[in-house]
Amino acid sequence: MNITVYLGASSGNKEIYKTEIKKLGAWIGETGHTLIYGGSKSGLMGLVADSVLEKGGRVIGVEPQFFIDSEFQHEGITELIVTKDMTERKRKMIELGEVFIAFPGGTGTLEEISEVMSMVSLNMLKAKCIFYNVNGYYDPVKKLLRNMLFDDFSTSERLKNIHIVDSLEELISCVG
């Protein structure tokens, strides 16, 4: 299975983010799944790629040319796909993915998973969209989704394939 993971190119300021991304990467590698990610060698991105590779897994990075020009790419991954810009990068990562996971990250992570979430809710993409709520990071998203239901801006049917999980065990169960 191709698992697209959106996450930070920095490591954040809590050790738990590093610990949990290594566990996620190890699981992806051990189970024979393929990681699809942004292609960077830095921060959590680099850690997840390294963790998958250490367990014998396959890693496909998708990185826009301007990041390549700045030498952010991870040289040791299985395959690097270079795109002309961020729009093409997002499209390619969605095209390759079968399951989509948002790990803690910044505005780029939020933008990417929001597009997937919208496509999933509109049945334009048949996939699971999973927020990995490490250390309560995505609690505000959980509240926002409840508000969407409460205020009739969405329905349970539209949100049925959008999940928020608090542990790797829940994530594995959700992926199936």
For domain 2-175, give its CATH number from 3.40.50.880, 3.40.109.10, 3.40.50.450, 3.40.462.20.
3.40.50.450
Helices 15-30, 168-175: crossing angle, 10 deg rounding: 30
DSSP H stretches of helix in 55-101: 65-69, 86-96
User: Is the distance from CB of 112 to CB of 6 less than 8 angstroms?
Assistant: yes
Please report, for residues 17, 48, 77, 79, 109, the alpha-carbon distance to residue 115 in angstroms, rounded to integers and kept in the order given: 23, 22, 26, 24, 10
Domain definitions of the chain by residue range: 2-175
pLDDT digits (tens, 9 = 90+) for 97-143: 999 999 999 999 999 999 999 999 999 999 999 999 999 999 999 99
The vertex-174 CA angle with 4 and 26, nearest 5°, equals 55
Strand-pairing partners, residue 36, are 4, 60
Instruction: Give the pLDDT confidence score for residue 73 in this predicted structure.
Output: 77
Q: What does each of the 176 residues of the chain score in pLDDT, given as a tens digit?
A: 999 999 999 999 999 999 999 999 999 999 999 999 999 888 999 999 999 999 999 999 999 988 776 777 778 899 999 999 999 999 999 999 999 999 999 999 999 999 999 999 999 999 999 999 999 999 999 999 999 999 999 999 999 999 999 999 999 999 98
Q: What single letter denotes the amino acid at residue 88? A: E
